[in-house]
Structure 1
Amino acid sequence: MNRIMIEFTLWTENPEVDIDNINQIIDIFPVEKESIGDIKYYGEKNKLKRYADVSSLMYSTGYINTIEVEYALKKMLSLISPSISNLINIVNEYKLNSKFCIVIDTIEKPIISIPSDIIKVIAELSAEIDFDIYNNYD
């Protein structure tokens, strides 16, 4: 199985920031939203619980059948591009943290390339880049 997923997350530890209002301003869907104090159940049979210590909005491409990081990043950019000006303003105005998480789950060795136009957008959003790599190749 060769697949890559991109997740773009905005978050804050500031309880004064109204994440619901930010979500409405950004107007990108689908979104996974979490607010400080929300209870999330996880683990086997959802028996474990944790309280959210940050408010966040997470956008995802879902898994894409590819070994090329650039291809998956372009899918994410097509999702957020219509709202990029709003995103940049909101990140700065509310002092939000932002991150692109590149999740690689491949049998073949992935092609990891990030072109300058994508790097520019990542920089404008003051975003971090994380790689989660699950390699099944020898």
Structure 2
Amino acid sequence: MEDFLHRLKTEQQYDAKFTSDALAYLQQADWPGQIRELEATVKAVVAREVAARSMDGMGSSRMVISLEAVKAYLFQRRIGFGASVAASPPASGGMSASAGRKRPSDLTEAELRAVLEKHQGNKTRAAHELGIALNTLKDRMKKLGLV
């Protein structure tokens, strides 16, 4: 994994490391796609943390990726592939409980308004909390007449 992180640092200027418990978790996990799946997971988790940091206005200092961040990504990925939401939700710091329960097309106007209000109208942060792409959020808002 150090090789993956080194490549991310040189190719995309992402300076990150994993906590020891996150590293152990990744090393012990089952990777049906073998090394490619592990590498894709490392890249995705780091990219998500970079995005979260930039949304929060944090600098570009070295990131430390927690076990919770890894579990939240893997949980959201399982949901994306159609797994049951009841299957091992992430620990604190992950996606909100309501985020993985619905498809974007099932989100109601009230739910979108609540998340947008929570984030003071910031669509990027709202989309992140909901676990959907920004364009998906904007599209759903347009369909519900919220734009």
TM over 0.5: no
Q: Which has the higher contact order (CA 8 A, sep 6+)?
A: 1
Normalising by structure 1, we get a TM-score of 0.26
Normalising by structure 2, we get a TM-score of 0.25
Instruction: Name the one with the larger helix percent.
Output: 2
Instruction: Name the one with the larger strand percent.
Output: 1
